[in-house]
Amino acid sequence: MKYLLRFAFLLVLTGLTGCASLYFPPPPHAPMLTHQGEFYGAVSTNQHTNYAIQGAYGLTNHLAVAGTFSSLHRKKSAKTEDIDFGEASLGYFTRLPDKRVLEVYVGAGGGATQRIERNDAQIVNRTLDGSLSKIFAQVNYAKKKQNSLHLFNRDFPLTYGAAMRLSYMQLNNFTVNGLPAPGENNIFFEPITFTRTQIAGPVQLQLISGQIFGLRNNEFLKAANSVFQVGIVINLDKNTTLDD
């Protein structure tokens, strides 16, 4: 029951967060790899219709590559938002005692953003266009819980963890109604927690929740959106798992 209450609280909390920034953060990736040849894939979404596809692969027993693509396309009466963003990173992972995993990633990303604003008469009064670029560093930590979620006369093993990401973002090639405008930059801190419930075999249900904090007070590139995603995770070729 406490997991369901937490889930409902997060839905309310994230629903109170507005979308006034030209940047919508993709969820930090947390593959939690344990050995060479392991593949991680995830598909997730949230109440803002922001979709994310993520993947990671263990090149060696400690070196990994990872990538994320996220997309937000939605139209409301007052505005239309279109944001596409991709990331790639290189990471180090290691397995610690007592079923724990530690990962460190560094990477970069880029994409395009557009927002069209309309007045009450549905007449466009401002169009914002630009490109986004990012460099980031991230640390992930996870540990297998000792208990499981009991539902429908079944026990679903739980894994929980956290990730902390520090990003430097830039809004480039920025125009307002087709006219050049000064770009912006910001430093974002994104702490998140995640919980995974094993459904069947390598398939897990994942809940990510967190927040984004901006160190600069900008008009367009700011921390205006929380991090909340629900999705499916698949780990393939797992010779070793967190459960071992």
Q: Please report whether residue 243 resides in a domain.
A: no
Q: What is the pLDDT along the chain (244 residues), one digit of tens a residue?
A: 344 334 434 433 433 344 479 999 888 999 999 999 999 999 999 888 889 999 999 999 999 999 999 999 998 888 999 999 999 999 999 999 888 999 999 999 999 999 999 988 788 889 999 999 999 999 999 986 656 666 666 666 788 899 999 999 999 999 999 999 999 999 999 999 999 988 888 899 999 999 999 999 999 999 977 788 999 999 887 554 454 5
Instruction: Please state the domain count of the chain.
Output: 1
Whether 184 is in a domain gets the answer yes
Q: What type of residue is 164?
A: M
Is 244 domain-assigned?
no
Token pair, residue 25, equals 């953060």
Tokens of 40: 């991680």
pTM, two decimal places: 0.84
CATH of residue 83: 2.40.128
Contact (CB, 8 A) for 225 and 27: no
Question: Looking at the domain assignment, is residue 69 inside a domain?
Answer: yes
Buried b (16+ CB within 10 A) or exposed e, 87-116: bebebebebeeebebebebebebebebbbb
In-domain check, residue 158: yes
119 in a structural domain? yes
pLDDT score of 12: 39
Radius of gyration of the chain (CA): 19
Q: Is residue 193 part of a domain?
A: yes
Q: Look up the domain containing 45 and give its range.
A: 2-236
Q: How much is the pLDDT for 15?
A: 38
For residue 78, what pLDDT is reported? 87
Task: Let me know if residue 241 belongs to a domain.
Answer: no
Distance, CA of 119 to CA of 121 (rounded, Å): 5
Give residue 144's pLDDT: 64
Beta bridge partners of 48: none
| Strand residues in 76-226 grouped as ranges (E) | 79-96, 100-118, 124-151, 154-176, 179-180, 184-200, 203-210, 213-214
Rounded-to-5 percentages of helix, strand, coil across the chain: 5, 65, 30
Q: What's the pLDDT score for residue 91?
A: 98
